A = this chain, B = another copy of it.
Amino acid sequence: MKYYLEVQFTLSGPLPDESKEEIEELLKLFAEKTQESRDKGEFEFTQWNTKDNKLDITISSIDSLTPHVAVLRLRKQLAATLGKKYRVGLRGFNFVKYTIETELEDKPVKEFSLPLVNKLEFFEKEGKNYAKLDIDPEIEEDFVEKGAIERIVRRVGEKISKQHYGAKSEHHQISWYSGEKKHFTDENPTQLMQKANWIQRTNYRNQWILTPTLTTLAEALKQIMVDYVYEPLGFNQMMIPKLVDWSIWLRSEHAEGIYQGGFEPYFVVQPNSADPEYFEEIADYITITKTIPSEKLAEKVSAPIGGLSYAQCPPFWSWLQGKTVAKESLPIKVYDWSGPTYRYESGSAYGFERVDELHRIETLFIGSPEQTKEIGMQVKDKLRVIFEEVLDLEVREAKVTPWWLQQSAHEDEMDSAEDLVVGTIDYEAYMPYRGKREESEWLEIQNISIIGQKYPKGFSVKAEGNIELWSGCGGGSFERFLTAFVSQKGLDKNNWSEKFLKYIDKLPEPVKFH
């Protein structure tokens, strides 16, 4: 890595001549110490001068301390030296020119640009590939302090890698199979349920009415989850917030992947003002025309403040954020089904297994690595009992590594052995209407993941006595559970398992229409 930085410090006034020797000395010492503390690389203040209330310094560095980090450290040292002795304050700094050359693993497939980078060039030298970045001199000091330069450089490599390999494909390995089960239909389950008036599309994209008939089945499944998983394992129910502001998605790192595959949120906006007068014209217009003046309305609302709950887990963490959990309260085990989650499914209309508004049960646990792993295994085993024994479904378990784990898990935490360490297990159900077992796509109906330190770190959660904190979670939607179930067992209760029927007192008659 080769860096060249021209930085200008702004001072509260001109520097007296007698200070110059001192600055010369300070820079010399700084460069020497930097050089000493590293085995290799070169670090140099190539020149400096001061005029009026400005102090200009040029830094060049090869495989050594990055110049912007040097600037941050220098700022402190200069402020101390100049302030005490000469009563000259340091106002701040700005970059005049900052270029970075970094070696690349791969040549880019096509050129691209990056925020806060004015120019991004690619070149080859001696068979190696390089990128040369001109950092935008307008970059804010606080961005530099918070690591933006490092992330810019890393992003170059990530984007090239994505150009070559696309989004990393999920690693997928079957780890268990229930064996063949009897199925009673090979029809499309969405159509079956629609014809029976169990579900009905609304006017809105991929949203459904869950009638009392279907809701009764969903409630039965909830109770099964309670009796088989949550009660025996000591989980408590809680109601996790469902409107998620950006501060949450920044900490959970969802925001970084916005609409990049894997995070497709609906956004929420607020009125710019809640004053009735501010909306009076719009109210008048709607009353008179019975239509919505979309453009005028759009002018009266904010930029997105966040969005609708996408997975239940991130907003849970605002509870523990910045806190130190008492040892006696660990492990924390909760589940939530207090409201729908949303994902924007682009393209045409889908079946009941792929909806924009979905009703998930979230299972969430936090503790030491050992506690977390143990609970994860227990939940996994209980889920197996529910799917195979209670519902009598043909399902399989698959070990996968989803994008959000690949993105942030540390390699040493990743699953390598037999047991789930950090990683995900998906439950997938056979869908007879889609064709043969071997060739057709099975439906993912539930996952259970051990996520390691990602969330506790992202939300700055600690535990008493410096216990390392891990978390795990799992989710499954009623929509998918029931699509899979109906796909194999159909609508006729006579073909349903005894253990499931025990949870259904009475299936409400669908409302009839003429």
Residues of A participating in the B interface, judged by any CB pair closer than 8 Å: 113-116, 143, 146-148, 151-152, 155, 159, 200, 202-204, 207-212, 214-216, 218-219, 236-243, 245-248, 250, 255-261, 264, 266-271, 274-276, 278-295, 297-298, 301-304, 306, 308, 315, 318-321, 323-326, 328-329, 332, 334, 338-340, 342, 344, 346, 356-357, 359, 464, 508-509, 511-514
Distance A326 CA – B509 CA, assembled complex (angstroms)? 12
Distance in Å: Cβ of A302 to nearest Cβ of chain B:
8
> Which chain B positions have C-beta within 8 A of A261?
276
A270 touches B344 (CB 8 A): yes
A115 touches B271 (CB 8 A): no
Closest-by-CB residue of B relative to A293 is: B115
11 contacts between A and B (CB under 8 A): A113-B281, A148-B290, A202-B319, A243-B342, A246-B292, A256-B287, A258-B283, A264-B271, A320-B511, A326-B512, A326-B514
**8 extra A-B contacts, CB within 8 A, seeds A147-B290, A255-B286, A325-B512:** A113-B281, A212-B237, A212-B238, A250-B292, A260-B276, A274-B344, A274-B346, A323-B513
Distance A342 CA – B269 CA, assembled complex (angstroms)? 12
Contact of A301 among B151, B267, B319, B340 (CB under 8 A): B267
A297 touches B303 (CB 8 A): yes
Closest-by-CB residue of B relative to A322 is: B513
A237 touches B211 (CB 8 A): no
> Which chain B positions have C-beta within 8 A of A210?
238-239, 338
From DSSP, what is the main secondary structure of chain A's interface residues?
mixed
Given the contacts A216-B236, A344-B270, A513 and B326 also touching, CB distance less than 8 Å:
yes
Contact of A212 among B264, B294, B334, B356 (CB under 8 A): B334
Query: Which has the most chain B C-beta neighbours within 10 Å: A306, A323, A511?
Result: A511
A318 touches B209 (CB 8 A): yes
> Which chain B positions have C-beta within 8 A of A114?
284, 288
Distance in Å: Cβ of A407 to nearest Cβ of chain B:
10
Contact of A288 among B151, B259, B326, B339 (CB under 8 A): B151
Distance in Å: Cβ of A194 to nearest Cβ of chain B:
13
Distance in Å: Cβ of A209 to nearest Cβ of chain B:
4
Distance in Å: Cβ of A292 to nearest Cβ of chain B:
5
Distance A332 CA – B513 CA, assembled complex (angstroms)? 12
B286 touches A256 (CB 8 A): yes
A243 touches B143 (CB 8 A): no
Closest-by-CB residue of B relative to A151 is: B288
A267 touches B269 (CB 8 A): yes
Distance A325 CA – B197 CA, assembled complex (angstroms)? 13
Closest 8 CB pairs of A and B: A339-B339, A212-B236, A274-B346, A259-B279, A326-B512, A298-B303, A294-B303, A210-B239
Distance in Å: Cβ of A197 to nearest Cβ of chain B:
10
> Which chain B positions have C-beta within 8 A of A285?
115-116
Closest-by-CB residue of B relative to A326 is: B512
Distance in Å: Cβ of A226 to nearest Cβ of chain B:
10
> Which chain B positions have C-beta within 8 A of A292?
246, 250, 255
Query: Which has the most chain B C-beta neighbours within 10 Å: A261, A284, A290, A320?
Result: A284
Distance in Å: Cβ of A280 to nearest Cβ of chain B:
7
Given the contacts A115-B284, A115-B288, A152-B288, A216 and B237 also touching, CB distance less than 8 Å:
yes
Distance in Å: Cβ of A507 to nearest Cβ of chain B:
10
A286 touches B308 (CB 8 A): no
A243 touches B295 (CB 8 A): no
Closest-by-CB residue of B relative to A462 is: B514
Distance A236 CA – B308 CA, assembled complex (angstroms)? 27
Contact of A259 among B218, B237, B283, B290 (CB under 8 A): B283
A247 touches B207 (CB 8 A): no
> Which chain B positions have C-beta within 8 A of A290?
146-148, 250
> Which chain B positions have C-beta within 8 A of A282?
258-259
A303 touches B308 (CB 8 A): no
Contact of A204 among B204, B241, B346, B511 (CB under 8 A): B241
Distance A448 CA – B231 CA, assembled complex (angstroms)? 35
Closest-by-CB residue of B relative to A306 is: B204
> Which chain B positions have C-beta within 8 A of A304?
269, 294, 297-298, 301
> Which chain B positions have C-beta within 8 A of A346?
274
Distance A275 CA – B259 CA, assembled complex (angstroms)? 7
> Which chain B positions have C-beta within 8 A of A357?
241-243
B116 touches A288 (CB 8 A): yes
Distance A55 CA – B167 CA, assembled complex (angstroms)? 64
